[in-house]
Structure 1
């Protein structure tokens, strides 16, 4: 079975993108090699989840810089994080919605116009 094992965030301004995610989720970033590529550490290896990468946006595809998957981040309180998104230069692009039996989901854009989801686990969501 295929599992998501990595993600990449493409940024016009990598420093601004790193600051956004560090301030919002506490992620850390380690430069990898000589290129503009950073490994994204999203949490402790003892917890479920994946780490990823952040890089300078490259190459246009049909006039679009990158067409990619949306990654969703587990949070304790989607409402609180949605407020932080705005205060850190991002925006909510799809308001809070229930995923019945799973939880609450909000889609946001970061400072680099990348869409990401935030999900609060709540089996009673409806």
Structure 2
């Protein structure tokens, strides 16, 4: 049996702005495609690594929000990521907070208006 989630999409209004934000904050490189009238920018994926990957998605059915599902990005340096979020047009919504033995969490709003979370051990 596989884990419940296998893929994600983050809705965006401006794909260039969103790609720039996530590239500067996390250092990701994106591959762009189009399909079914939607523009996509794919997060990197390593087949030999744990976890899932997904895409930034722009199209008629994609609406950025802070009220929907919450996606957690793993990080080894949460303070650095939150600093880059602020420096690149995002803002911290929930500061770095201990969750005991499970590590640390935080939340930010990206340049598109999405609420996104961070987790570190």
Name the TM-score, length of structure 1 as normaliser: 0.80
1:55 to 47, 54, 57: 57
State the match for 2:25 in structure 1.
Answer: 24
CA RMSD of aligned residues (A): 2.2
**Who wins on radius of gyration, i.e. which is larger?**
1
Matches of 1:4 and 1:55 in 2, distance apart? 17
Gaps of 5+ in 2: none
Deviations 1:93-117 (CA, angstroms, capped at 9, x unpaired):
0111111211110100100010111
Deviations 1:34-78 (CA, angstroms, capped at 9, x unpaired):
533224223422211211122225359xxx765631110110111
Higher relative contact order (CA 8 A, sep 6+): 2
Question: How many corresponding residue pairs?
Answer: 118
Name the TM-score, length of structure 2 as normaliser: 0.83
Gaps of 5+ in 1: 122-126
State the match for 2:119 in structure 1.
Answer: 119
Q: Provide closer, same or farther for how the CA distance between residues 83 and 65 of structure 1 changes in structure 2, counting only shifts above 3 A.
A: closer
